[in-house]
Amino acid sequence: MLTQTVLRLGRAGYEVLVARDGEEAVARATAEHPDVCVIDAMTPKLTGWDVTRRLRADPRTCDVPVLLMTAQAQTARRPSADRERDPDGYLPKPCSPHELRSSVRAALTRQNAPRRITTAGTVLSRITRSSATDQRSR
């Protein structure tokens, strides 16, 4: 799942930073301040839910949108009700390339971000898109 996510985001023109577990994801997100985090719910050491809570509790990362990847279909469809605890959105596992790109793009648009993304789970990614690449994808 990690490799596919990194490849798909890389092919979409994003720079991806990877974290192998939840603790590393929190540390990298705090240090790098990404525009978006994509987190696997089943990340080792800290779950995606725990990573989300820690990011929300830190003033340096509390505004970073979080997308949580989960195999639980009912969770993936449930809207977020508690901004301080829940992610901003859910992605099903497996996730289609189109759905992944669309969700990331929507989170960046809501954030008015310059195209950097961090994914965590077994992935912490940072994504940077040049304006030329961005224009071609529209």
pTM (global) more than 0.85: no
Domain extent at residue 59: 2-136
CATH of the domain at 62: 3.40.50.2300
Determine the angle formed by the axes of helices 97-111 and 2-11, rounding to 10 degrees. 60
Number of independent structural domains in the chain:
1
Give me the pLDDT at residue 113, please: 54
Q: Write out the chain's pLDDT in tens, 138 residues.
A: 677 887 888 788 888 888 889 999 999 999 988 888 898 888 899 999 999 999 999 999 988 889 999 887 555 555 555 656 678 888 888 888 889 888 888 888 876 655 555 554 444 444 444 433 443 444
